[in-house]
A and B are shown apart, each in its own frame.
Chain A
Amino acid sequence: MNSIIELKNIDKTFLTDEVETLALSSIELTINKGEFVSITGPSGCGKSTLLSLLGLLDTTSQGQFVLNGNDVSNLTKNERAKIRNKEIGFIFQSFNLISDLDVYENVELPLTYRNDLTADEIKTRVNDSLAKVDMGHRNKHFPSQLSGGQQQRVAIARALAGSPSILLADEPTGNLDSKNAQMVMDLLHDLHKEGATICMVTHDQHCADSASRRISLFDGRVVEDTNLSNQAA
């Protein structure tokens, strides 16, 4: 099998102020290696929630989640953290770089939470990742000294540094102007061509359609799952 992610009958409810919100219900989803999946839908339909479940940033309320053949539905917080570190690369809408750390240190960060890498290996990986996003020359800059597009490229480098099985991106172009947005999309497509598996939330129709597969959510349910690979080519 080359499926990376298998969701079986997933529900997610939030409890706020005694009110239950059913954010996701009965989600069945399989993502295979090498796919570029886009998730679309109106605001509040559960896109971010789904992505955070895929990224093990939150627990499911019900259902089974198999990641790379392992059931990860019932892990402790720290076990989930270890899996995130190795298997998942995050790209956020608001970049989420750490302002106290410079570009190099931001990219290095996920690698410092492992203890199976030597200093040399870390250095090579960080520099390779930065080279991939063409940010190697900004090593010593701090996030505040970079444009939004540059910050997002650093964030992508950070997501790549750990060689994850899948990249999860939540509206990666949402905070960017169209020129920078296009640059980030191009970068993601390049990565996809090189073999990366990507799952991206977006409400931009054009972006959604440029993926190899499009999933639409409405009110916490999958209402459409279209393979676009023929069109894209």
Chain B
Amino acid sequence: MFRDIKYAWRLLLKTPSFTGITIVVLAIGLGLSIYMFSIINMLAYKQLDIPHYERLVMIDAVVDGMENQGNVYAHDYDYMKQRQQSFEEFSAYIRTSLSLSNGKEAQRYDGAYIEPTAFSLFGGKTHLGRTFIDSDVKKAFIDTERSPVHSEVVIISYQVWQEYYNKSPEVIGKTVQVNGKVHTVIGVMNEGFAYPRKESVWIPIKVAANQNSGQGGWHVSIAALLKPGISLAMAQQELMTYSKELTEKYPESNTNVTVHSRTLVQMVMDNSMMIVYLLTGATIFIMALVITNVGNLMLARAMERSKEVAIRSALGAPRSRIIRQMLFETLIICFIGGFFGIILAGWGLDISRPLFETFGGGGSWWTFTLDAEELGIAGFIIFFTALLTGLFPAIKASNTDINSTLRDGTRGAQSKSSAKLSKVLVSAEIFLSCALLILAGVMIFGVNDAINADYGFKPKGMLTARFGLNTDDYKMTVERNLYQQRLIQALIREPGIENATTASAFPGRSSGRESIKIEDMANQDKQYPRSYFMTISKNYFEFLGVPVLEGRAFNDSDTIDSLPVVIVSTSFAKKFWPNTSSIGKRIKTEPNNPDSEWRTIVGVSKHLIHSQPFGDEQFRSAIYVPNSQLAYQYQYVAIKTALNPYQLQKTLVDTAAKVDSSIPLYHVFSLSDRLERRVGAMVFVGKIFIVFGALALILAAAGIYGIMSRSVTQRTQEFGVRRALGAIDRDIYQLLLKQGLTMLVSGISVGAALGYFAVNMLSGVLLTLSGYYLMVTTTVLLTISLTFIAATLIPAFRVLKLEPNSALRYE
């Protein structure tokens, strides 16, 4: 056996160019596959450190077919909770942001109001103190209340304990102001606990139902534990029957409102799951291309040696010995290729770490190294490749009839089985590369669109930060507005800051959408239209450089006592008043709330993209209300500068502290970064697909050329005969193309169909893609056809350069 390995090694060294090319193809293919499967494994299948995590289900509202996280009406939650049979536990949480303050210094964190049962569902273990119990909640809240807090205790994360309390062991029992109210710290969680998403401060609540569905400002998300033996689909079906009942009872608020349940694992993945499927599919295709190519190289090598093999079997070498010896060659090549592949994959993982911060809503669960598990996967992939590429050619070569190899019967064409094999291989290469190239091309265009999307304004030089006006000084709109105007004035006075404004949301950070009622307009859909709803300072449009196309922007005459006004986007105006002006028309939010005011439209602003620049979201309309008439607790501030915006980060934070030191700014990001973060995962996918596309084309071109040139060379004698009988060059070219046509057409049509299927499945979910399908497909089909024709004609040209006499004598 050792002798066989040594012999294999010697044979490989004797053909350095074959060995080199094969190792390079393998290293690239295996490297990419190992890299991709590590990422996929990491994203989708890593176990979460929670007991029963596979039964843990997250439930959110679906409105108009779009998932709306944190948007289940408290009433509906209670309604389902009373009736449901599928879950052991069924509890609510609300993700929010909470500020901790010791009276002097305030710090803001992502936090959650959470029912004690939901908290324990996530399996949190405390580092210090204890977790929540039911009696921590003093009073249930109903969803019309502005603040749900009826508790005086708080649990903090390990990180908060570290940063805010300097790891003080006496933290338990200490008091701290949470959003301006005194709370007692009762627990510090273990390091890494950040559920339901990425929170680090938790306050217990108890959710009770309002009498009516669809009212009030607070909505919840649901975490639940499936009873053993109940499937997710069964549970979802049960919840859907309640959604239907609710829709019948409350058509105005609940039409087209349903719920969607998925496991925690799925939620962590979010719609990145789609990306995972996409990447898995593409990787398998690349791998198939690599295996086809390497397998073909091995086969060619085995066939070249078939004479040697025939002689060796004639001398009595057993077949198993011959196969084993050939397999060693493949194994050696695959392991060397795999070794470089692992190095490539590790390097790839290293450089792509930052790209993953936007996956799964910025979850903190991913680790970016090749650990034992991934190395195991890598080993499996390498071994699998070696087996596929080595075993088949070895069996085939050792199987050749000794007699016919040593003395070929009919002159002329290739041996039948090898011709058939060539056809299958070429069709496979065409089909795989077509599908991949179509997908890659469409993805690259789609991602490019997303990255270069015109949001309707230029985000360059803008820096944004968030703040919460949650102390007792800012209970009323007037006070909240006043703070914002003072902040704006203070910021504009700072050198380097050209302009400043505030709003409840800026593009890239989607604001909530509200139901809108339009005066004197019947609802066609039995359901209120929805629109992004923002409260803004009067210079918002001027700041963004977005024109108010009709009517006016807000100004100082819009006060709390004046006529309630609203500005709508052109997309809103065109939708409801396609033929007339919308100025002077009246609309209101919270249609079921009798206290909700009618607002008069005074302006129509240019359409802006407020959330993702692809799919349906880019077309969603928006309405804007002045901060002077309605101001929320949580707002964003934005400044504009000619400099790199981050140079003014300190100025921004310090200036705000001078205006009111109890209101900290947090989440400081340039607006460009905010927009890019929304497409960050897409950027990664785009880059991966550029690599996939280029590799697919190179592999396919090389593979098809290799196979075609071999099969043409094998037919040299046949062509010699045909030429002796009077075939001119054109006859031979035509023959080859005609025979190739079946391979080309079958490969192309299956590939294009598969590409179409994939693009259709992805379009709208991830990106707007279908617009590119035709163009990309045409280009891909043309490229592949030309590649194929070149791969056919170039070797034929070489063979036809010979005199027919030499062709006939060709061995």
Given contacts A52-B805, A58-B804, A113-B731, contact A99 B412 (CB under 8 A): yes
Residue of A nearest to B723 (CB): A81
Query: Quick check: is A173 within 8 A (CB to CB) of the other chain?
Result: no
Closest to A159 in B: B725
> With A and B bound together, what is the CA distance between A141 and B412 in angstroms?
17
Q: A57-B805, A58-B805, A59-B803 are in contact. Are A81 and B727 (CB under 8 A)?
A: yes
The reply to whether the CB of A193 lies closer than 8 angstroms to some CB of chain B is no
Q: Determine the distance from Cα of A161 to Cα of B717 in the docked complex, in whole angstroms.
A: 21
Q: Could you tell me if A144 and B725 are in contact, using CB atoms closer than 8 angstroms?
A: no
Q: Which residues of B contact A177 (CB under 8 A)?
A: none
Residue A172 is within 8 A (CB to CB) of chain B in the complex = no
Q: Is A114 an interface residue (CB 8 A)?
A: yes
| Distance of A96 Cα from B806 Cα, bound (Å) | 14
A98 close to B804 (CB less than 8 A): no
Q: How far is the CB of A211 from chain B (nearest CB, A)?
A: 22
B409: CB under 8 A from chain A?
yes
Q: Is B411 an interface residue (CB 8 A)?
A: yes
Task: Give the docked Cα–Cα distance between A109 and B410 (Å).
Answer: 17
A95→B721 CA distance, assembly (Å): 10
Contact indicator B410/A99 (Cβ below 8 Å): yes
Q: Any chain B CB within 8 A of the CB of A82?
A: yes
Is the pair A84, B726 in contact by a Cβ cutoff of 8 Å?
yes
- On whether A113 and B728 interact (CB within 8 A), knowing A98-B722, A144-B409, the answer reads yes
> Contacts A58-B803, A58-B805 known; A143 to B410 CB distance under 8 Å?
yes
How many angstroms between the C-alpha atoms of A82 and B729 in the bound complex? Answer: 11
Shortest beta-carbon distance from B669 to chain A in Å: 68
CB of B472 to closest CB in A, whole Å: 92
Shortest distance between the CB of A66 and any CB in chain B (Å): 20
- Residues in A whose Cβ lies below 8 Å from that of B419: 100
**In the bound complex, what is the Cα–Cα distance between A97 and B726 (angstroms)?**
15
Contact B410 A82 (CB under 8 A): no
- CB closest chain-A residue, reference B801: A77
Tell me, in angstroms, the Cα distance from A57 to B806 when the chains sit together.
9
Chain B binding surface SS class? helix
Q: Which listed residue, B717, B718, B728, B803, touches A78 by the CB 8 Å rule?
A: B728
Closest to B408 in A: A94
Interface readout for A86-108 with B: 1 if CB under 8 Å, 0 if not? 10001010111111100000000
User: Within 8 Å of chain A (Cβ to Cβ): is B282?
Assistant: no
**Given A98-B413, A99-B416: A109 and B805 interface contact (C-beta under 8 Å):** no
Segment 314-354 of B: residues with Cβ below 8 Å from A: none
Hey, which chain B residues are within 8 Å of A90, CB to CB? 724-725
Chain A neighbourhood of B806, CB < 8 A: 58
Q: Which of A57, A96, A97 contacts B803 (CB 8 A)?
A: A57
Choose one: A84, A99, A143; the contact of B724 (CB below 8 Å): A84
The answer to whether A86 and B726 touch (CB under 8 A), given A95-B411, A98-B412, A144-B409, is yes
Q: Which residues of B contact A52 (CB under 8 A)?
A: 805, 808
If A57-B805, A99-B413 touch, does A82 touch B726 (CB 8 Å cutoff)? yes
Q: Is A158 an interface residue (CB 8 A)?
A: yes
B633-645: contact bitstring with A at CB < 8 Å (1 yes, 0 no)?
Answer: 0000000000000
Instruction: Report A45-75 CB contacts with B as 1/0, cut-off 8 Å.
Output: 0000000100101110000000000000000
Interface string of B710-736 (1 = CB under 8 A from A): 000000011001111111111100000
Judged by a CB distance under 8 angstroms, whether A150 is at the interface is no
Asked whether any CB of chain B lies closer than 8 Å to the CB of A136, the reply is no
Contacts A77-B729, A78-B729; is A96 near B412 (CB within 8 Å)? Answer: yes
| List of 5 A-B pairs having minimum Cβ-Cβ separation, nearest first | A85-B726, A58-B805, A57-B805, A110-B725, A78-B728
Q: Can you list 30 A-B pairs with a CB-CB distance of less than 8 A? A: A52-B805, A52-B808, A55-B724, A57-B724, A59-B803, A77-B729, A81-B728, A84-B723, A84-B725, A84-B726, A85-B727, A86-B726, A90-B724, A92-B808, A95-B411, A96-B721, A96-B808, A97-B411, A98-B722, A99-B410, A99-B416, A100-B416, A109-B722, A109-B725, A113-B725, A113-B727, A114-B726, A144-B409, A151-B410, A158-B725
Residues of B within 8 A of A (CB): 409-413, 416, 419, 717-718, 721-731, 800, 803-806, 808
Further contacts, 12 of them, CB under 8 A, given A97-B411, A113-B725, A144-B410: A57-B805, A58-B803, A77-B728, A77-B800, A77-B803, A78-B728, A78-B730, A81-B723, A90-B724, A92-B411, A98-B718, A113-B722
Q: Which residues of A come within 8 Å of B, CB atoms?
A: 52, 55, 57-59, 77-78, 81-82, 84-86, 90, 92, 94-100, 109-110, 113-114, 143-144, 151, 158, 162
